[in-house]
Amino acid sequence: MVNVPAIFGSMVFNDTTMKERLPKATYKALKKTIDLGEPLDISVANVVANAMKDWAIEKGCTHYTHWFQPMTGITAEKHDSFLDPDNDGNAIMEFGGKQLVKGEPDASSFPSGGIRATFEARGYTAWDPTSPAFIRDTTLYIPTAFCSYTGEALDKKTPLLRSMEVLSKAACRSLKLFGKDVQKVTSTVGPEQEYFLVDKKYYEKRKDLIFTGRTLFGAAAPKGQELDDHYFGSLKTRVKEFMAELDVELWKLGITSKTRHNEVAPAQHEVAPIFSTTNVATDHNQLVMETLKKTAEKYGLVCLLHEKPFAGVNGSGKHNNWSMGTNTGENLINPGKDPINNTQFQFFLAAIMKGVDEYADLLRISVASAGNDHRLGANEAPPAIVSMFIGDELQAVVDSIINDNDYVVPGKVPMHLGVDVLPEFKKDTTDRNRTSPFAFTGNRFEFRMLGSTVNIACPNIMINTIMAEELNQFCDEIEAADDKEVAIKALIKKVFTEHQRIIFNGNGYSEDWPVEAEKRGLPNYRSLPEALEHFDDEKNIKLFEKNSVHTAVEVKARKEITLEEYSKEINIEALTMLEMAKQDILPAVSEYVKELTETALSKKKLSENIPTTVEEDLITTLSNDLVSFVKKIDALEDTVVKGNDIEDKLEQAYYYHDVVFAAMNELRAVSDEMETITARKYWPYPTYDELLFGV
């Protein structure tokens, strides 16, 4: 049996370990840095480093690494041993404050979007004491931020930390208006992570899964998700054993893994931790994704994190449950029992409404990826249009404020199930809305547009920055007013009125919504290039610069990188398809046609009276298909060559979306058609049946 409290955080240099191992004064100084963001002295860092090293060595470590999240979105690590030769040629184990605080990896091979030329290879990693160090295998991992020699952020963490800081300041400033003096406000997030598990023996036979993480060919299985029998279904033994080990590994790393269940599509699952600060949650989510992959292998499984591994069934996303709370324990997104009289909550709600409305494009941009393009707006994820769901109770509050009407309390109704032994409980005043991209769920907002692989720093940088901006604007206005109470009420009313178009409580999957959204003037960016085009719009650059989250240079660099990555990803998919088509599928079908032809001929030889129409029909159909297949291969090949030559990154991304991707779909359609009529023993790849139902 697993003793959860005993293993939880056992591989983390957490608060308990720090208290145990650090001198009181050092601990206090470090806590001030962690909790209140005060700068850290090198003498303190020296003591911390030494304690960390001793702890790590006791746990079997030989190495340490500065762990960071470059703009590829995934994590990077370069290991150094603690080894340090002394004058007598003996090895001692050393680790000082300097090494803890700063690293200097050769940064030239990480994407920088033109921020740094290769001859300026210098990059720095800087210790982030707000996310605890941890041990994996025999290495001590130190979470770090990554920046260029000239101080530009080259990673996901630096802007996230900057956004948390501005949000904290803006929220503390806002709370002063309500007579509250708090020192720090932290944004929190609980990410729910979806993934697929497939059997390794099938995975290894699919070049598309190996190179791109998704199936580029594959006819639908006879069964999909139509029976809804997988969602919350009982777990298969191998999956359950995998999940049990996953939990143990996550708990050791101090990750509060809490919920696990089967998801909608066959072979799809979800894991969710309890929320933490956006920074720690981001690091943890990266670890969750890595641990999912590592643990799966031990069970002969492969974990697919791609947003759309299979056509025809749901893809995978990530739900970003976001809120903000004070260091005194107050959740600022909690409306409490009396929302109509909770002016402070209304103030924060107004900031969110205004922010989501004015910067809907940035929220959309933050979740844009080639993989997510398959989901958003495709009737399984929220649409590509950003809107907010606030539910009946808050809607009544907003309506009554806008219209100066009496507020009608949608009172809590008791729930009676008609059976006396079942407990009676009160219904929530607000039902859920699964089709909304930004939904209020009682004491937090759930941003649902994220793809399963996205680094959650991206959306949280946006949410935090937008909130900080709006709150500061509000404060500027109210602080200048004579009667603050009156001014706050007027401001809330004005904002609710001006930004009510962002609220949509209806069905986000319905065909009417995009039409209605267009009438309201809400942007609908259906693909990554469409969205990214707006990243460096003037208003967005202004937002980032004013709040010191990104410089204009950083924004433009990020735009370039994202566009380039998008084109490259589709390019790899196209090349993989071409290889599969030419080297495997075409020869396989041709081989089957040959068998059919030989069968027909030998039948004829035996007797002219034996019918061969079945073979002949199939031969004709498949031969025609092959002609069309080769045409599509040539067409795709052509588009890829042209795509590579386009210089402008935006133009190139549009081309890959409009032309290359379209040619890929046409090629796939012919192959999938042939798959359904080719004898199984000839088909070169494991089928959807095996991939989706083979575990």
Tokens read off for 123: 């990059």
Least distance in Å: CB of 260 to Mg ion? Answer: 14
Q: Tell whether residue 558 is a contact of Mg ion (CB under 5 A).
A: no
Q: Where are the alpha helices (DSSP H) in 446-511?
A: 457-479, 484-498
Q: Which of 443, 571, 599, 623 binds ligand ADP (CB under 6 A)?
A: 443
> Min. distance of Cβ 600 from ligand ADP in angstroms?
57
Identify the burial level of 289 via C-beta atoms within 10 angstroms of its C-beta, where 0-12 means exposed, 13-18 middle and 19 or more buried: buried
Q: Which of 344, 305, 308, 580 is nearest to 454 (CA)?
A: 305
Q: For residues 448 and 559, which CB has a smaller minimum distance to Mg ion in the complex? A: 448
Structure tokens at 655: 């081309």
**Residue at token pair 């208006």:** 177
Report if residue 444 touches Mg ion, rule: CB under 5 A: no
Do residues 140 and 52 make contact, with C-beta atoms less than 8 angstroms apart? yes
Q: State the number of binding residues for Mg ion (CB under 5 A).
A: 1
Counting contacts by CB under 6 A, is residue 687 touching ligand ADP? no
Tokens of 664: 């890929």
Residue 657 as a binder of Mg ion (CB under 5 A): the answer is no
Binding span for ligand ADP by CB under 6 A among 42-50, 198-206, 293-301, 316-324: 316-324
Q: Is residue 43 near ligand ADP by the rule CB under 6 A?
A: no
Residue 310: name the closest of 375, 365, 370 by CA.
Answer: 375
Helices in 330-435 by DSSP H: which ranges?
343-358, 360-366, 391-403
Which CB sits closer to Mg ion, 214 or 319?
A: 319
Q: Which stretch binds Mg ion (CB under 5 A): 73-81, 168-176, 314-322, 480-488?
A: 314-322
Contact in structure between 133 and 287 (CB atoms under 8 Å): no
The single residue among 50, 139, 163, 188 that binds ligand ADP, judged by CB under 6 A, is: 188
Give whichever of 343 and 443 is closer to ligand ADP, judged by the CB atom. Answer: 443
Decide which of Mg ion, ligand ADP, none touches 275; Cβ closer than 5 to 8 Å per partner kind.
ligand ADP
Amino acid at 193: Q
Which among 185-193, 306-314, 339-347, 602-610 is the span making contact with ligand ADP, rule CB under 6 A?
A: 185-193
Sign of the alpha-carbon torsion through 324, 389, 352, 482: negative
Q: Which of 207, 354, 444, 448 binds ligand ADP (CB under 6 A)?
A: 444
Neighbouring-strand partners of residue 63: 81, 139
Q: Two tokens at 532?
A: 């990214």
Q: Check if the beta carbon of residue 205 is closer than 8 Å to that of residue 574.
A: no
What sign results for the dihedral spanned by CA atoms 407, 410, 412, 413? positive
Which residue, judged by CB position, is nearest to Mg ion in the bound state? 319
Query: What do you get for the CA distance between the two ends of the chain, in Å?
Result: 25
Selected range binding ligand ADP among 51-59, 187-195, 398-406, 624-632, rule: CB under 6 A: 187-195
At 183, list the tokens.
């020192």
State which residue, 354 or 444, has the beta carbon closest to ligand ADP: 444
Q: Considering only 170-178, 319-327, 423-431, 599-607, which stretch makes contact with ligand ADP by CB under 6 A?
A: 319-327
| Closer residue to ligand ADP in complex, CB, 139/188 | 188
Q: Name the minimum Å distance from CB 535 to ligand ADP.
A: 26
CB of 157: closest distance to ligand ADP in angstroms?
19
Nearer to ligand ADP, 217 or 440 (CB): 440
> Which among 299-307, 318-326, 494-502, 509-517 is the span making contact with Mg ion, rule CB under 5 A?
318-326
For ligand ADP (CB under 6 A), the number of binding residues is 15
d(CA 97, CA 541) in angstroms, rounded, equals: 36
Strands (DSSP E) found in 108-239? 123-127, 134-136, 139-148, 185-199
**Distance of closest approach, residue 274 Cβ to ligand ADP, in angstroms:** 4
Report the nearest approach of Mg ion to the CB of residue 439 (Å): 9
Q: How far is the CB of 285 from ligand ADP (least distance, A)?
A: 11
Q: Which residues contact 551 (CB under 8 A, 6 or more apart)?
A: 152, 544, 545
The interface with ligand ADP within residues 264-303 (CB under 6 A) comprises 272-275
Q: Nearest-5° angle of CA 50, CA 54, CA 60?
A: 140
Amino acid identity, position 172: C
Chain positions 320 to 349 lying near ligand ADP, rule: CB under 6 A, are 321-323, 331
In SS3 terms, 255-269 reads as CCEEEEEECCCCCEE
Build a one-symbol-per-residue string for 204-243: x at contacts with ligand ADP by CB under 6 A, - elsewhere: ----------------------------------------
Taking a C-beta distance cutoff of 8 angstroms, is the pair 231, 270 a contact?
Answer: no
Residue 92 interaction partner, one of ligand ADP, Mg ion, none, beta carbon < 5-8 Å per kind? none
Q: 147 and 154 in contact (C-beta within 8 Å)? A: yes
Query: CA-CA distance, 637 to 644, in Å (whole number)?
Result: 11
- Is 192 an interacting residue with respect to ligand ADP (CB under 6 A)? yes
CA distance 167 to 159: 12
- Strands 268-273, 317-326: pairing kind: unpaired
- Tell the smallest beta-carbon distance from residue 308 to ligand ADP (Å): 21
Minimum CB distance to Mg ion, residue 446 (Å): 5
Q: Is 319 in the site for Mg ion (CB under 5 A)?
A: yes
CB of 432 to Mg ion, least distance (A): 8
**Which of residues 9, 190, 451, 643 is near ligand ADP by CB under 6 A?**
190
Contacts of 657 (CB under 8 A, 6+ apart): 373, 527, 528, 529, 566, 570
**Distance, CA of 691 to CA of 216 (rounded, Å):** 13
Quote the least distance from Cβ 459 to ligand ADP, whole Å. 13
Shorter beta-carbon distance to ligand ADP: residue 103 or 191: 191
Contact positions vs Mg ion (CB under 5 A):
319
Contact positions vs ligand ADP (CB under 6 A):
188-190, 192, 259, 272-275, 321-323, 331, 443-444
